[in-house]
Amino acid sequence: MSRVFTVGFFTFRELIRSKMLFVWLISVVVLCGLAFLLSILSYGDILNIFMDLGLVGMEVSGLMVLILSLAVTYTTEMDQKAIYLHLSKPLTRGEYLLGRIFGFYLVVLLVVLGMGLVVVGLVIFAGGGQVPTFFYDCVLFLLLEMFLLTVLGLTFQMIATSMVGVVIYTFFTIFLGHLIGEIQWLLGKQLAPMINFALQVIYYCLPNMDVFNLKDRIYDPTLVLGAAQWQEVLLYTFAYSFLVFLIGWINLEKREFV
């Protein structure tokens, strides 16, 4: 396990040196500025709207840093063969992949939590408001979502044959994952058998992002979040991540770097 952590911390330092945090700082300024502007121009409680937009900004900034990190590291690891430096050591390919996931997630965790602190700080100290009860649960749900997407992105990096492929696979999988509700609605309609079968394949293969979408119900008075809901989310996150990790591990074992 120490080898996994070594790869993870090396990956973390590599991403920090690639100026990923500058992307986060720029995104914080832009997204917080847009959130504040939109909250002023919208009807309703300004602080509540800002809090909602802040949660969206946290998700967007995390996804932005994740996708850009996948693109940057594919060039160094795969195209420039830096992966040889890792695999030439007493390190299995499974440990390498797990360490990369750990390092990537540390960076995404830093970005999401950092922006979360900015949002909470602006609400409490600048706006004089109170943080909603379920805000912290929304953040935890978002962190679980980022973990699943980190595993998914690294698996695509092991499968894809180009940097563009990694970005496209990751982006469209995330995009379609947020449309799972619409796909489920279509499955309830009378469709041609082939279309119905294709939609079922997409429904069961894509990550269900609706599972983590708590932010849309943060002010819902009927929302109940107990042990059963947490168990469902945690089970889905780690079961799906484990299956995706196995796919990436198997593909990495078979991949030849020439």
The 10s digit of each residue's pLDDT in 120-142 is: 887 777 656 677 777 888 889 99
The rounded distance, in Å, linking the Cα atoms of 18 and 208 is: 31
pTM for this model (two decimals): 0.87
> Terminus-to-terminus CA distance in the chain, angstroms?
28
Residue with the larger pLDDT of the pair 258 and 85: 85
Residue 183 falls within a domain, yes or no?
no
Residue 244 falls within a domain, yes or no?
yes
Number of structural domains in the chain = 1
| pLDDT tens digits along 31-42 | 677 766 766 666
Contact (Cβ atoms closer than 8 angstroms) between residue 178 and residue 145 = no
Residue 193 falls within a domain, yes or no?
no
Residue 189 falls within a domain, yes or no?
no
DSSP readout, 159-214?
H-SSHHHHHHHHHHHHHHHTTHHHHHHHHTS---HHHHHHHHHHHHHS--GGGG--
The domain of 87 spans 2-178+213-254
